[in-house]
């Protein structure tokens, strides 16, 4: 049994803005089920959905450069793993996780710097891990802090792993932040924490972690190329010896049409009639006409550059000519929100659009749609396409990252070039296939019987911990 301390900015069901939250809500459980001793450290934000917390430490001093904080640590056990909440109201008692009203909190280096420093104090005082496992840039400084604390016997022998869930978010800040973070200026050079005239939390993790992983094998290759590297490709090529890709798993307790509490009817491979009811209800919920014999395409997403929805901009007219409709849920980039609002206004019977974040509706779209669209520019793993498979909602995806690794021609539809015409052709292809009902239903059954549960991927993380 290894002792693992995961450090993360989010974990479902407590706080989630995207797939990172899903992963930190389910990978720890899968590891615990396989016999590991797992703790997860995250900030206690104002809106965290937490219950039954036990205060296990009061007024633990944590210093960060010149700053002295006094933090409380609260514990809840969830599915076999311990979740430790770092309570520090001046930094975390705010409405947002990373930002508010579209603006990043200016003290994010301190907010997340403290999370990394606190992990060392947790190790000294509460839970001493064999492996520190950092997730994304907010936990990227930890391997550097560990290195600078190398003489400390409480930390001797501990190893560190960084998992990159998304290279597009790097935690880059002005060099002056080094003072606040207690980082010696001698680390400010291209082989260290310097990145194009700034400091980078993520780079610190890549440089100093003992191992680096990302969330699919294809993305692990892609990020070593200029097209997908966001300036990190050279660095990652030079660290290829310690870089691996492990595809995310699905939490089938949360995502399964047999018992999903958010959907109006349950169904499974042997009887798909419940899915037809989910479609009827979803169309009604979105104010769309009933279209039993025509495809409904679902979209549930953060609206970010990464997700590729700008491709739809140029093909709204031809799409509106097709015999299909869209069920859209998402929020983020105001330009993309506005684009979907425009579509709904121009073609009211074809685009049902909800701007916002709504977990229940996300489940109802997974269940009620016939197809699920992810035209991502890049996609480290992607979870929604794997949820869709389980709900018999065939994914239409761009062949990149985890989409390439999880979808094949038997269960979904892929396109390659990042071009509106390629996307349109894939949608038309799927729409044509939908007309052959018996063939479509056997595709659905194949999709639903795919198994992307965490077990196999959790075993790969265990191999890494052992090594
Ligand atoms: P990413 O992490 O890049 O956002 P993933 O496919 O890995 O992409 O995970 C997205 C997760 O966030 C899924 O669980 C999806 O259902 C959820 N999600 C995204 N946008 C919304 C939204 N607007 N409302 C509810 N859930 C959402
Ligand atoms: C990121 C990626 C997504 C991945 C998720 C969890 O948000 O964009 O592809 O599934 O992290 O690893």
Closest by alpha carbon to 325, among 407, 399, 434, 217? 434
Answer yes or no: is the C-beta of 109 below 6 A from any ligand 2 atom.
no
User: In this structure, is residue 263 part of a structural domain?
Assistant: no
pLDDT recorded at residue 51: 87
The Å distance, Cα 362 to ligand 1 centre, comes to 8
Answer whether 279's CB lies under 8 Å from 369's CB. Answer: yes
Q: Centre a 10 Å sphere on the Cβ of residue 7 and count the other Cβ atoms it contains.
A: 30
pLDDT recorded at residue 130: 97
Answer yes or no: is the C-beta of 379 below 6 A from any ligand 2 atom.
yes
Atom of ligand 2 at shortest range from CA of 18:
7
Same domain, 292 and 369: yes
Structural domain range at position 437: 273-451
Collapsing DSSP to helix, strand or coil, 215 comes out as coil
Whether the predicted pLDDT of 285 surpasses 90: yes
Query: Helices 437-448 and 420-435 meet at what angle, rounded to 10?
Result: 110
Collapsing DSSP to helix, strand or coil, 19 comes out as helix
Answer whether 75's CB lies under 8 Å from 127's CB. Answer: no
pLDDT recorded at residue 86: 98
- Report the chain's mean pLDDT, rounded to a whole number: 97
pLDDT recorded at residue 148: 92
Same domain, 294 and 196: no
Same domain, 345 and 371: yes
Here the CATH number for the domain that contains residue 331 is: 3.40.50.2000
Answer yes or no: is the C-beta of 19 below 6 A from any ligand 1 atom.
yes
Residue nearest to atom 22 of ligand 1 (CA): 357
- Residue 272's Cβ-count burial label (10 Å; 0-12, 13-18, 19+) is middle
Rounded mean pLDDT, 294-300: 98
Name the CA dihedral angle for 91, 194, 378, 112, rounded to a multiple of 10 degrees.
-10
The Å distance, Cα 331 to ligand 2 centre, comes to 16
| Distance, CA of 247 to CA of 147 (rounded, Å) | 29
What does DSSP assign to residue 97? S
Could you read off the pLDDT of 345-363 as tens digits, one per residue? 999 999 999 999 999 999 9
Closest by alpha carbon to 334, among 304, 308, 299? 304
| 370 confidence band (pLDDT: 50, 70, 90) | very high
Rounded mean pLDDT, 146-163: 91
Whether the predicted pLDDT of 153 surpasses 90: no
User: In this structure, is residue 258 part of a structural domain?
Assistant: no
pLDDT recorded at residue 150: 78
Whether the predicted pLDDT of 432 surpasses 90: yes
| Distance, CA of 324 to CA of 339 (rounded, Å) | 18
Q: What are phi and psi of 372, to 5 degrees?
A: -130, 125
Same domain, 70 and 183: yes
Strand partners, 414: 397
User: In this structure, is residue 98 part of a structural domain?
Assistant: yes
- The tokens of 86 are what? 């770092």
Whether the predicted pLDDT of 48 surpasses 90: no
| 151 confidence band (pLDDT: 50, 70, 90) | confident
pLDDT recorded at residue 154: 83
Give the pairing type, strands 211-214 and 243-245.
parallel
Spell out the residues 6+ positions from residue 304 whose beta carbon is closer than 8 angstroms to its own: 168, 332, 333
User: In this structure, is residue 262 part of a structural domain?
Assistant: no
State the residue for tokens 């949820």.
387
- Backbone torsion region of residue 308, taken as left when φ is above 0, otherwise alpha when ψ lies between -120 and 50, otherwise beta: left
| Distance, CA of 65 to CA of 138 (rounded, Å) | 17
Could you read off the pLDDT of 9-44 as tens digits, one per residue? 999 999 999 999 999 999 999 999 999 999 999 999
Same domain, 325 and 460: no
Write out the DSSP string of 402-467: HHHHH--TTT-EEE-SSSHHHHHHHHHHHHHHHHSHHHHHHHHHHHHT---BHHHHHHHHHHHHH-
Same domain, 230 and 358: no
Whether the predicted pLDDT of 156 surpasses 90: no
| Distance, CA of 199 to CA of 174 (rounded, Å) | 6
User: In this structure, is residue 266 part of a structural domain?
Assistant: no
Atom of ligand 1 at shortest range from CA of 166:
3
pLDDT recorded at residue 101: 86
Same domain, 310 and 440: yes
Q: What are phi and psi of 358, to 5 degrees?
A: -150, 100
Same domain, 243 and 280: no
User: In this structure, is residue 260 part of a structural domain?
Assistant: no
Strands (E), 290-430: 296-303, 325-332, 351-355, 371-374, 394-398, 413-415
Any idea which ligand is nearest the CA of 385?
A: 1
Spell out the residues 6+ positions from residue 456 whose beta carbon is closer than 8 angstroms to its own: 249
Same domain, 181 and 301: no
| 429 confidence band (pLDDT: 50, 70, 90) | very high
Collapsing DSSP to helix, strand or coil, 9 comes out as coil
pTM of the predicted model as reported, rounded to 2 decimal places: 0.96
Any idea which ligand is nearest the CA of 165?
A: 2
Same domain, 47 and 141: yes
Could you read off the pLDDT of 240-268 as tens digits, one per residue? 999 999 999 999 999 999 999 999 999 99
| 142 confidence band (pLDDT: 50, 70, 90) | very high
What does DSSP assign to residue 94? S
Collapsing DSSP to helix, strand or coil, 375 comes out as coil
State the residue for tokens 């700034």.
198
Answer yes or no: is the C-beta of 158 below 6 A from any ligand 1 atom.
no
User: In this structure, is residue 177 part of a structural domain?
Assistant: yes
The Å distance, Cα 167 to ligand 2 centre, comes to 10
Same domain, 152 and 17: yes
Answer whether 109's CB lies under 8 Å from 181's CB. Answer: yes
Largest CA distance in the chain: 69
Quote the number of domains for the chain: 2
Answer whether 257's CB lies under 8 Å from 391's CB. Answer: yes
Same domain, 462 and 428: no
| 365 confidence band (pLDDT: 50, 70, 90) | very high
In 35-107, which residue ranges form alpha helices assigned H by DSSP?
A: 89-92
Atom of ligand 2 at shortest range from CA of 248:
12
User: In this structure, is residue 135 part of a structural domain?
Assistant: yes
Candidate from 10, 19, 27 with most ligand 2 atoms within 8 A of CB, to mutate = 19
């Amino acid at each position: 049994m290894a002792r693992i301390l995961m450090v993360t900015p989010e974990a479902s069901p407590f706080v989630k803005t995207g797939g990172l939250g899903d992963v930190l809500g389910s990978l720890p459980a899968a590891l615990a089920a396989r016999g590991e001793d797992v703790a997860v450290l995250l900030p206690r934000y104002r809106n965290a959905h937490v219950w039954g917390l036990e205060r296990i430490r009061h007024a633990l001093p944590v210093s960060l450069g010149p700053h002295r904080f006094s933090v409380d640590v609260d514990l809840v056990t969830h599915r076999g793993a311990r979740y430790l909440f770092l309570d520090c109201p001046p930094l975390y008692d705010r409405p947002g996780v990373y930002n508010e009203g579209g603006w990043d909190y200016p003290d994010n280096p301190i907010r997340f710097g403290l999370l990394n420093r606190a992990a060392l104090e947790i190790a000294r005082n509460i839970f001493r891990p064999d492996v520190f496992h950092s997730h994304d840039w907010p936990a990227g400084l930890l391997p550097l802090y560990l290195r600078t604390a190398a003489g400390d016997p409480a930390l001797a022998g501990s190893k560190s792993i960084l998992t990159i869930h998304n290279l597009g978010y790097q935690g880059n800040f002005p060099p002056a932040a080094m003072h606040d973070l207690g980082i010696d200026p001698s680390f400010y050079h291209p082989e260290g924490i310097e990145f194009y005239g700034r400091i980078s939390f993520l780079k610190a993790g890549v440089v100093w972690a003992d191992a680096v992983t990302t969330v699919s094998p294809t993305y692990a290759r892609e990020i070593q190329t200029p097209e997908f590297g966001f300036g990190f490709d050279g660095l990652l090529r030079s660290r290829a010896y310690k870089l691996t890709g492990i595809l995310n798993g699905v939490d089938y307790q949360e995502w399964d049409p047999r018992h999903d509490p958010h959907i109006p009817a349950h169904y499974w491979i042997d009887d798909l009639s419940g899915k037809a009811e989910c479609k009827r209800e979803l169309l009604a919920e979105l104010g769309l006409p009933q279209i039993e014999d025509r495809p409904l395409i679902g979209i549930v997403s953060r609206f970010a550059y990464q997700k590729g929805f700008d491709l739809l901009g140029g093909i709204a007219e031809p799409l509106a000519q097709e015999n299909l409709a869209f069920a859209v849920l998402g929020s983020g980039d105001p330009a993309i929100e506005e684009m979907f609002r425009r579509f709904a206004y121009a073609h009211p019977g074809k685009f049902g659009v909800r701007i916002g974040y709504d977990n229940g509706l996300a489940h109802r779209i997974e269940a009620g749609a016939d197809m699920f669209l992810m035209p991502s520019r890049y996609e480290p793993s992607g979870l929604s396409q794997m949820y869709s498979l389980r709900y018999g909602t065939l994914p239409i995806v761009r062949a990149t990252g985890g989409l390439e690794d999880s979808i094949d021609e038997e269960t979904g539809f892929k396109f390659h070039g990042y071009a509106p015409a390629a996307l349109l052709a894939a949608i038309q292809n799927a729409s044509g296939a939908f007309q052959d009902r018996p063939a479509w239903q056997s595709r659905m059954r194949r999709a639903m019987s795919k198994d992307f549960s965490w077990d196999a991927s959790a075993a790969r993380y265990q191999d890494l911990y052992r090594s």
